[in-house]
Amino acid sequence: MTGPKRKLESPKRKLESLKRLEEALYEVLRLAEREDRSVVVAGGMAMQVYGSDRLTADVDVLSDGFLSGLPRGKALTFGGETTHASNGVTVDVICRTDDYKELYEEALTAALDNFATSESDFPVVDVEYLAAMKFAAGRFKDRADLVFLVKETGLNRETLRVIVRKHLGRYAVRELDNELRAIDAGIEE
């Protein structure tokens, strides 16, 4: 007995090679420096910095403003815009204007402070802030990213709780604790 015939479809967004992503990232970093803007890596590239093998189709950066050296793009509903680097790689410049604005601004500042004393080539959102962002987003891929961050990076759970309480509220901490218990128990759905 055979099931229904299924047609393979190409993904809506093409996954980019690491080389092309890095080219786009360094272009964004150069533009930000020229324009006196602050940017830090977030999203899938940040996950890769922390050791995840998750692939990504774009470069996500938190920023304190738009980068005029990039073409104007489509507005992101939560603040910022989707644009592209000169090599065609999609770049999401995130400047939150919604309920999570303060979380993202604090994450940007903390990442820049830590970058100043690090040996890294570029600033990346701190793992606890990245986990808080993933927890707040709540999408399936964000849940998978949160599981990875909790299990594989040695993040400081108390720092994560403080960030979640400050920016998402005390009830969110209860939800986070339930999520952490589920992760510890191996419930990864």
For residue 122, give the DSSP letter.
S
Give me the domains of the chain, ranges plus CATH numbers. Answer: 14-125 (3.30.460), 126-189 (no CATH)
Count of helix runs (H) and strand runs (E) in the chain: 7, 5
**Structure confidence at residue 4 (pLDDT):** 45
- Beta bridge mates, 41: 61, 124
Round to whole Å and give the CA distance between 14 and 34: 30
Asked if residues 44 and 55 have their Cβ atoms less than 8 Å apart, the reply is: yes
Half-sphere CA count of 97, side-chain side, radius 13 A: 10
- The answer to whether the Cα torsion of 9, 15, 16, 17 is positive or negative is negative
**Global pTM value:** 0.90
Confidence of residue 151 (pLDDT cuts 50, 70, 90): very high
**Structure confidence at residue 118 (pLDDT):** 87
Round to whole Å and give the CA distance between 156 and 160: 6
Round to whole Å and give the CA distance between 18 and 30: 18
Convert the pLDDT of each residue in 90-145 to its tens digit.
Answer: 999 999 999 999 999 999 999 999 998 988 899 999 999 999 999 999 899 999 99
Amino acid making up residue 101:
K
Decide: helix, strand or coil at residue 123: coil
**Structure confidence at residue 120 (pLDDT):** 87
Confidence of residue 47 (pLDDT cuts 50, 70, 90): very high
Sequence-distant (≥ 6) Cβ neighbours of residue 141 within 8 angstroms: 54
Convert the pLDDT of each residue in 48-86 to its tens digit.
Answer: 999 999 889 999 999 999 999 999 999 999 999 999 999
Is pLDDT above 60 for 180?
yes
